[in-house]
Amino acid sequence: MKYYVVKYTGQFGFIKPWTAVRDGETFSQQFLTPSIIEGIEKKLFPELLNEANWGKIFKIRRYRLNYQGIDIQQERTWSKGGIDVYKEGNQYKTNMGILKRGIMLNPSLHLAFDNAEDAETAFTQTICLCRNEDLMHPVEMFETDENDFDAIDGF
């Protein structure tokens, strides 16, 4: 089978795992879930955004995600109600906290399509893995077969 592949790269990437709701230290998930693939596809092809298409993937056939390493970054958080500072005894307290996130460094994502037109459309756009600040840009578009795509490092 022949694939038309678009390679995206970025500086950072973080895919929040399901277990990371309140963990003090969380490492990025290292693969994309079907719902993430669907979201990327609907961003690239907004014509698929009608209700009949929810829960389905039409154009992205396969993917490979890899990265160079993991970097621990700190993120300041607070509760939904906003920042609250209060005095308890002789000590000031706040509802702010620090989380540590294991962020992927220099992630690369290869998206495989069945036809060149879809790959060309994808090549003109940026994507995000999950968070809007983790932008990935298209850097390469090429044609390959199934065996060569399987040889690309990644998950």
Domain ranges for the chain, please list them. 2-72+103-150
Is residue 18's pLDDT more than 80? no
Confidence of residue 87 (pLDDT cuts 50, 70, 90): confident
Amino acid at 109: L
Mean pLDDT for the stretch of residues 17-31: 77
pTM recorded for the entire structure = 0.85
43-78 core/surface letters (b: 16 or more CB in 10 A; e: else):
ebbeebeeeeeeeeeebbbbbbbebeeeeeeeeeee
99: which residues sit within 8 A by CB, 6+ positions away?
Answer: 23, 24, 25, 26, 74, 75, 77
Confidence of residue 38 (pLDDT cuts 50, 70, 90): very high
| HEC sequence for 10-68 | CCEECCCCHHHCCCCEEECCCCCCHHHHHHHHHHHCHHHCCHHHCCCCCCEEEEEEECC
For residue 97, the model assigns a pLDDT of 78
Question: Tokens 């994502």 identify what position?
Answer: 109
Confidence of residue 51 (pLDDT cuts 50, 70, 90): confident
Mean pLDDT of the chain: 90
Q: How far, in Å, are 11, 80, 135 from residue 8 at the CA level?
A: 11, 33, 9
Classified as helix, coil or strand, 144 is strand
DSSP 148: H
For residue 52, the model assigns a pLDDT of 83
% the chain with pLDDT above 70 = 94
Classified as helix, coil or strand, 114 is coil
**Is it true that domain 2-72+103-150 has CATH number 3.30.70?**
yes
Confidence of residue 83 (pLDDT cuts 50, 70, 90): confident
Is residue 24's pLDDT more than 80? no
pLDDT, tens only, 104-133: 999 999 999 999 999 999 999 999 987 667
For residue 144, the model assigns a pLDDT of 98
